[in-house]
Structure 1
């Protein structure tokens, strides 16, 4: 399936006046490769150009992941010395002949860290926004994607159902949030959640994006839980309101 996605992307590049696209760790990279990389202090960037094998710049410690790719990818690895990074990006860009070309980027995802090295490796290139191309690629979901989204919802629902019986008066918001995190993992969520669970009670529940505090749950509190799970790169986002004990009129 991911090979078909790669082919769809390269076909879209040919009709969109883009010579290539670069992707750093995030949903699109996972969608395209089926391999998960997380954002860290070391840059990871996949170069995709029509008619050529993709090239992945990555730290040496991530090299074992190359065997996980469902299609051929050329790896350009660098060591622990940051002075090596620019040369690795230059090698990747040159191997695809990208200097002076139009290289699409994801503005909401690509960090300055990665962009500065790509630009140094292809100083004469232009870097237009490729969001529309990539969004169109992912607009129509296949069965595997729909199944993953449904699984992410079920994991979140099951986790809350397992957490509510553990709730008791005197427990802090932070403690209840911790129990929810445990249940999310037990029920199969990926460890990188869509966002940190929001658990807020009493006056704190009026804040739509509150962080759990040391406030203790009290009888009659209204409790707001805003949380989600992640599964195979797809996420859920749910909100529920319940009472702590009986609520007076």
Structure 2
């Protein structure tokens, strides 16, 4: 499955004139590697070439997780010293011959820090928006993805059905949101939810993306619940 995704990515990159794409932790990196990393103060950058090679720059302490990837990943690790980061990235850039390459990025996902490191590692490189290439790749859902989405829906439905009988006048939005999160985990959701549940009552229900507050639920309130489960 992952090999097929890498192959399709390479074909799409070549068709649009890219030599590679650079990614940081997020949905697209997980899609290509099946690895889930958190954004942190230490940079982690995946480089995927149009020829199908995959390189990952990461801290030493994350190597054991990267070793679990079923994909053939070339790892470039660095230690605790800040000055070790750029050489590791330069090694990956050199291995893929990207010193003057056309490298795609996700503008809405790439942080300024990693963007600067990439430009330092490949000062003669050309960095371009690869959003269209990556979105066209991910919009085509495979059977395994559809099955995972359906499983997540069933988990979310079960969690809500277990939560609704617990709703009572006087409990706060935050208490209800906490109970919903517990039920999501009990129903089988993975620990990292797609987003924090929104529970808003009364006037708060009119607020877009409201944050659960200490406001108690009152009789006659309109209750808004926005939630989801993760299953991959």
Equivalent in the alignment of 1:60: 60
* TM-score, normalised by the number of residues in structure 2: 0.95
Aligned partners of 1:155 and 1:184 also within 8 Å: yes
Equivalent in the alignment of 1:137: 137
Equivalent in the alignment of 2:33: 33
**Structure 2: gaps spanning 5 or more residues:** none
Aligned residues: 232
Cα deviation digits, residues 94-133 of structure 1 (max 9, x gap): 1111011100111111111211111111110010111111
Equivalent in the alignment of 2:191: 191
Distance 1:17 1:207 in 2: 44
Aligned partners of 1:3 and 1:70 also within 8 Å: no
User: Structure 1 stretch 189-198 or stretch 177-186: which is displaced more?
Assistant: 189-198
Equivalent in the alignment of 1:80: 80
Deviation of the 1:155 alpha carbon: 1.4
Distance 1:185 1:112 in 2: 34
Aligned partners of 1:21 and 1:103 also within 8 Å: yes
* TM-score, normalised by the number of residues in structure 1: 0.89
Aligned partners of 1:52 and 1:96 also within 8 Å: no
Matches within 5 A, 1:115-126: 115-126=115-126
Cα deviation digits, residues 152-207 of structure 1 (max 9, x gap): 21211111111111112111111011001111111122222222111111222222
Aligned partners of 2:18 and 2:50 also within 8 Å: no
Aligned partners of 2:6 and 2:52 also within 8 Å: no
Deviation of the 1:40 alpha carbon: 1.5
Q: CA RMSD in A?
A: 1.3
Give the 3-state SS of the residue equivalent to 2:77 in structure 1.
Answer: strand
Cα deviation digits, residues 45-88 of structure 1 (max 9, x gap): 11111336311000111000232222211100011122211111
Equivalent in the alignment of 2:7: 7
**Structure 1: gaps spanning 5 or more residues:** 233-249
Cα deviation digits, residues 213-246 of structure 1 (max 9, x gap): 11111222221111112221xxxxxxxxxxxxxx
Distance 2:203 2:77 in 1: 52
